[in-house]
Chains A and B, each alone.
Chain A
Amino acid sequence: MTMLRNIWKDKLAAISLSILAIVLTAGIFAPLFAPHDPNEVNMKLRYAASSWEYLLGNDHLGRCILSRLIYGIRPSVLWVLAALAGSVMLGTAVGFVAGFFRGKVDAALMRVCDVMLSFPGYVMTLAIVGIMGVGLENILAAFILTKWAWFARIIRTSVLQYAESEYVRFAKAAGAGSFHIIRRHIIPVTASDVAVVASSSFGSMILQISGFSFLGLGVQAPTAEWGMMLNEAREVMFSRPELMLAPGLTIIIVVSAINFLSDSLQAALDPKLRTSTSKAAEQTSAVSAKQLLGREVA
């Protein structure tokens, strides 16, 4: 029975992982996968239903919906991933420096984080877009600017926790250099924390970027992007509600897959936490509370 459940669990994680792999590959090699040019207007095919040539039908300008979905992966997923990587790297660097060197450096960096975190993420993004102008690159920049402080905080906490652990103390006592200790002993163990936190905000970032595009603040027409496609579909929502389906479901599937992977990652790390002392449990609950605040919904 438990075996069965484990396999089933793994199976779901495996499905999520393969969905993501397919989406990422399709996005990178979009010209190879897309059957048509995403911006090719064909007024004869306006609102055409799905056919063999146009599997998901055509939109209000007769463009191939499937091709637009595939090209839409680039801004909706790939660029978000890049922004996430950027903020994780920035946050990790700051978190490590703060957690490892402590003292004044730590205090100063954490005050900066406090200030960054006192702006709600959404508002900060809107402010940056408002000042710098609308566009995908400004939203991505805003993401990096607003998210790094989260990662820095969480990574600092785990570095502090691990830096206190016996074997790191031992390595210090044995005379290993700081960078050696960070590279050999702390990066490997904190990597899992980073992965959990990063993956849990990935999904919400995808939702947010599509939300901004939906509002007309992100990607501009005619570039294909999921939120943008929904925005275009909204105008004909009452006459042709079916146009909302394909991009909406795509977002749900991709975000669910990401959230599921994030959860199974967390679950995989959980037993370790469960058997340890109550202090560790408290810390995890603190982390999850923070994560919760970080997980804003679009």
Chain B
Amino acid sequence: MGRYIVRRLLISIPLLLVISFLTFILINLSPHDPAELVLQAQEVPVITEELLVQTREELGLDQPFLVQYIEWAVACLRLDFGESYVTGKPVWSILGPAFFNTLKLTLVSVAVIVLLSIALGVICALREGRLVDKSVRGISFFLTSMPSYWLAALMIWYFSVKLDLLPTSGMDSLASYVLPVIVIAISYAGIYFRFVRSAMISNLNEDYVLYGRACGLPEKKITKHILKNSLQVSVSVFCMAIPIILGSTVVVENVFAWPGLGSLSVKSILSRDFPMIQAYVLVLAVAFVLFNTLSDIINAVINPKLRNDL
């Protein structure tokens, strides 16, 4: 088991290197000169050739490409992503808090999604084809087809404006979590609930269920076995939900003015704050890889069959 974990972790290292390299060259793919952007962002009135050369030197852009990359990568390990072109502050001092705000929102949402989809998935699978199953599936179908920002706007309009129950935006109290979490949960629970449901149903048709019944085991115990096996399949999927939602709260955060990564990334894109965009991409891609690794490891821990692979 320990060997599996070490090997799985080792595999993700080259991937992380490639990702960091790709993130680094992103900036060089840009049609714009970073030095010019910095000067523009600092609202320097007249941009002269001298100024540009000077800025390039400051940014280390005059050094060989590989040297630039290594210096950047080493700095990233210390969470030093450079300075924002726009504000001049260290990137992490802005990105860090935003990351944790988004992480909080994501974790709460994923918790709700997991509970909701397991509950609904189990109920629907056990009543497959009945009214409950059909109506839950039908409703979830329309909810997943709904643009989340539209749903968000609708919620704000109803709960915050008409009923004046919940805050419209910001992250001031626990109540601020309610609407964003509901919107994210509604958009995703439909997908994950279907996954749990189909895992349950395919397990229901397994031979071990028949054999368990033939041995006289009560339905409760059999359901427990089915649940255990279906959740095993679902755990890795739920685990991956964390980075996926972490990376796609952009729209919801903007609607609810949540001070997280989503709001920050859109602001940075519109103001061409390259170091910020770069750090954002890197942080989320690394989170994605780490969670992927984690989900594989969890999978191997709970599913003895997989341990022999790799």
Q: Which residues from chain A sit less than 8 Å from chain B, CB to CB?
A: 114-115, 118-124, 126-127, 129-134, 203, 207, 210-211, 214-217, 227, 230, 234, 237-238, 241, 244, 248, 251-252, 255-256, 259-260, 281, 285, 288-289, 292-293, 295-298
Contacts and interface: CB of A to CB of B under 8 A. Distances in A.
Interface in B26-62: 26-27, 29-31
Contacts of B112: none
Contacts of B246: 120
27 contacts: A115-B15, A115-B19, A118-B288, A119-B284, A122-B247, A123-B288, A126-B250, A126-B280, A127-B26, A127-B281, A129-B269, A132-B29, A134-B270, A230-B147, A234-B153, A237-B157, A248-B154, A251-B147, A252-B145, A252-B150, A255-B145, A285-B202, A292-B195, A293-B237, A297-B148, A298-B147, A298-B148
Interface residues of B, number: 60
Contact of A211 (B147, B237, B280, B285): B147
Given A118-B285, A123-B285, A252-B146, A296 B195 contact: no
Contact of B251 (A133, A215, A260): A215
Contact of B188 (A126, A244, A297): A297
Interface string B180-193: 00000001100110
Nearest to B273: A130
A259 B236 CA distance: 24
A210 B153 CA distance: 14
Nearest to A216: B270
Nearest to B168: A238
B281 A119 contact: yes
A298 B269 CA distance: 18
7 smallest beta-carbon distances between A and B, as pairs: A120-B247, A255-B145, A130-B277, A130-B269, A256-B145, A122-B248, A248-B150
Nearest to B184: A297
A230 B248 contact: no
Contact of B198 (A123, A230, A285): A285
B246 to A, nearest CB: 8
A120 B289 contact: no
A210 B250 CA distance: 13
B265 to A, nearest CB: 5
Contacts of B280: 123, 126-127
B15 A114 contact: yes
A123 B281 contact: yes
Contacts of A124: 281
Nearest to B11: A114
Contacts of B30: 131-132
A120 B243 contact: yes
A296 B251 CA distance: 12
B22 interface: yes
Contacts of A281: 202
Given A115-B22, A288-B195, A251 B150 contact: yes
Contacts of B251: 211, 214-215, 298
The CB with the most chain A CB atoms within 10 A, among B147, B277, B289, is that of B147
B254 interface: yes
